[in-house]
A and B are shown apart, each in its own frame.
Chain A
Amino acid sequence: MDLCSIKHAELGEEWRNYKGRVVFRGDYITDEHGMFAVFTEQGASASHIEAANILDAVARLPGNDGEDADAVGAYTQLTMREAYKLLGTHTPYIETFVTLPKDRQPPSWSNIVDPVCIMDGNLYGHPIAGLLWEIHSHALVKKAGFSPIPSWECLFVHREKQLFLSIYVDDFKLAGKKENIKPMWKTLTETGIELDPPVSLHGDVYLGRAQYNCENDSAQTELHQTLVTRLTTSIVKTTPTTNNIEATMSKMGNNPQSSTLLEDNIDQTPQIPTLPKDPKPKSPPKSKPKPKSNSKTHQSKPLPPTAMTSTTYDHIKSWQYTMKGHAQQSVENKTYQYSKWSPHLV
């Protein structure tokens, strides 16, 4: 079956282009007896948006960069016969016969009644096409030196080259050491993944969301610098005391030395911070009782002291995610009009 869609329909006219795709009717697969074929549920791994966000941040670390590339044709980069080999020896290759649409049949088939042919490509629409592509692409990525990250599906790390790779079906996002990115794209291509030329993260659309490097908003930066500095000046780690008896004794006054030590170490009184615009900081609530001394706290390393915050923003890289096109669509198409229909809203 042929499908036609407009790619980047949510963006401006200049971005749109028609996209055609030949797909396999996965909803109508029968066996030789005409019974619907049953496939075991083979779910592909999830690619997390959090991983993509983290990689965008990694790409902005000093000395780092990030790029994105699409796999050409994705699923069809491997044949069904090759794909079945990836499933292991216990899954025998089963030939799939397909009926082509009339306009796709060669003239030599005109004399044949209901002609069929063997499907060789791993076409989109086949119930396990996604899984086969995933196994194939992940195997090649591992061959290039990447190793999977525990509990993060579709995310890989190359420790030696200091690179991270996130895969979302046919979208490959690579972030890490700037000088290793270009050679790594070359390595990935050499292992057998056919990729489009990589593009910079600036202006890139990943999962329908565009990101742009932007000018630093000094007011926003200052607001967050103030917030982070104030909130993290005295971070408290709470751990239960290792010697409850000592704590009990100190509470009862049997061990004054221990009691003093514990009291000195406690820094748990909550401080209510104020907004940056508020000139008078509020005092901590006095009515709150002091925490009991059956817990021990320690002061952490002074994390972000004020001296570390920068007053010049030249070295700060800013970027923003925008989904203006989707926002426009969500109100232009139906929502706004439907809502206006309702008389009780007026």
Chain B
Amino acid sequence: MVSTPCLDDHQLTTEDIEHPGKVAIPAARIVLKSRYLARLARPDIYWTVNSLAREVTKWTVACDKRLYRLSCWIHFHQDWTLKCFLGDNIQDTFLSMFCDASFAGDLKGSKSTSGGYLCITGPNTFAPIARMVKKQGAVSHSSSEAEIIALDSAVRLEGLPCLLLWELINDVFGNHTPHTPVKQPSTNSTAHPRDLYTFLSNVDYVPCTLPLSQNITKLIIFEDNEAVIQMCIKGRTPQFRHVPRTHRVDLDWHVECIQEDDSIFMKYVGSKEQIADFLTKGIFTADQWKTLCQLAAVGPPSKNLEC
């Protein structure tokens, strides 16, 4: 019986990382079968599967050890389920995005890993709907840099599309109460321009092809890095002027998106309650792991109801 499914790079030796492994031939089949599990219902093994899936063409002893650990975990926790519950009206629910990053967790390349855990939440609701584990494309030079890149990925890939859909669902089911007054778009009054500026602004005016946000639901981003929250408040990231060149991420767009969209909110969350933590690294004590699994609503099955 193992206490966690993961082995961090720091728990392995240099020889392990360098020497070729022995399960290299069937590795792809084994790992990708596990990846299917992880994607659909087992976020607890997502980080390990992700780190193994990157290595199928360059399998090492470290991968052997990691796979063995993962297999032991799955073997003893085959019946674990992903649980959800919902007990609110739709207007009381909102989306919560837990967003985290490791810092230089990959010893070989010193790259960080982004993690995101998106759920539908409410006073009596918790339903995980999407999760993300993604090794970053470039080396981050501080934890804040890794975190803001993770935030960008999570919001762009999962948060915004799901916000769009959840808002539509709210609208369809009759929730028309905006939490924030909706900003009115500038009217196209070319017929009677008030002044030259208005006239020039409306030259080449193209109406929005998508309906504008009605602010009837919320996406709350839970971030455990205060510096990142401050950057989003101030709208300035002077320390990260290199990021567009290294990570190829436009932070100005990202910060503006969070500031301008009235449906997106940010909130500080302590590291102990950061659910996305278990999607970014592999070093945990048994207690930490147990708590994170409970928070992510993955665990031993509950009793099924009769039909």
Which residues of A are at the interface with B, using a C-beta cutoff of 8 A?
Answer: 49-51, 53-54, 56-58, 60-62, 149-152, 155, 157, 159, 162, 164, 176, 200, 202-203, 207-209, 212-217, 220-221, 223-225, 227-229, 231-232, 235-240, 268, 270-275, 288, 291-292, 294-295, 297, 300-301, 303-305, 308-310, 313, 315-324, 326-331, 334-336, 338-342, 344-345
Contact = CB atoms under 8 A, between A and B. Distances in A.
Contacts of B233: 238, 268, 291, 295, 297
B41 A164 contact: no
B158 interface: yes
A54 B305 contact: no
Contacts of B34: 330, 335
B26 interface: yes
Contacts of B257: none
Contacts of A224: 85, 121, 126, 295, 297
A148 B270 CA distance: 40
Interface of B: 21-23, 26, 29-30, 33-34, 36-37, 39-42, 61, 64-65, 67-68, 70-72, 74-75, 77-90, 92, 94, 96, 118, 120-130, 158, 161-162, 164-166, 168-169, 172-173, 179-180, 210, 218, 220, 222, 226, 229-230, 232-235, 258-260, 262, 265-270, 272-273, 291, 294-295, 297, 299, 301-305, 307
B147 to A, nearest CB: 14
B307 A300 contact: no
Contact of B262 (A61, A157, A237, A329): A237
Contacts of A51: 165
Given A268-B233, A331-B71, A322 B92 contact: no
Contacts of B94: 232, 303
Top 10 nearest A-B pairs by Cβ distance?
A: A316-B87, A270-B268, A304-B123, A339-B68, A320-B81, A214-B302, A308-B123, A53-B129, A224-B126, A321-B41
A155 B79 CA distance: 31
Given A221-B85, A317-B85, 8 more contacts: A215-B303, A224-B85, A225-B123, A320-B84, A321-B81, A335-B33, A336-B75, A339-B23
Given A212-B305, A214-B305, A272-B268, A310 B294 contact: no
Nearest to A214: B302
Contact of A231 (B36, B42, B222, B291): B222
Nearest to B256: A240
B210 A214 contact: no
B128 to A, nearest CB: 8
Nearest to B262: A237
Contacts of A62: 89
Given A54-B129, A203-B307, A339 B67 contact: yes
B123 A212 contact: no
A330 B74 contact: yes
A213 B304 contact: yes
Nearest to A241: B235
A237 B87 contact: no
A318 B81 CA distance: 12
B179 A300 contact: yes
Contacts of A220: 83, 85, 294, 297, 299
Given A270-B268, A339-B64, A345-B64, A320 B74 contact: no
A215 B124 contact: no
Given A315-B87, A317-B86, A339-B71, A345 B65 contact: yes
B279 to A, nearest CB: 16
B161 A54 contact: no
B87 A313 contact: yes
Contact of A338 (B30, B125, B158, B164): B30
A220 B128 CA distance: 14
B117 to A, nearest CB: 12
21 contacts: A50-B130, A50-B158, A53-B130, A54-B169, A57-B86, A150-B164, A208-B36, A208-B40, A214-B304, A214-B305, A220-B297, A270-B229, A273-B270, A274-B272, A300-B179, A304-B92, A308-B92, A318-B83, A318-B302, A323-B40, A336-B72
Contacts of B71: 330-331, 335-336, 339
Nearest to B70: A335
B161 to A, nearest CB: 6
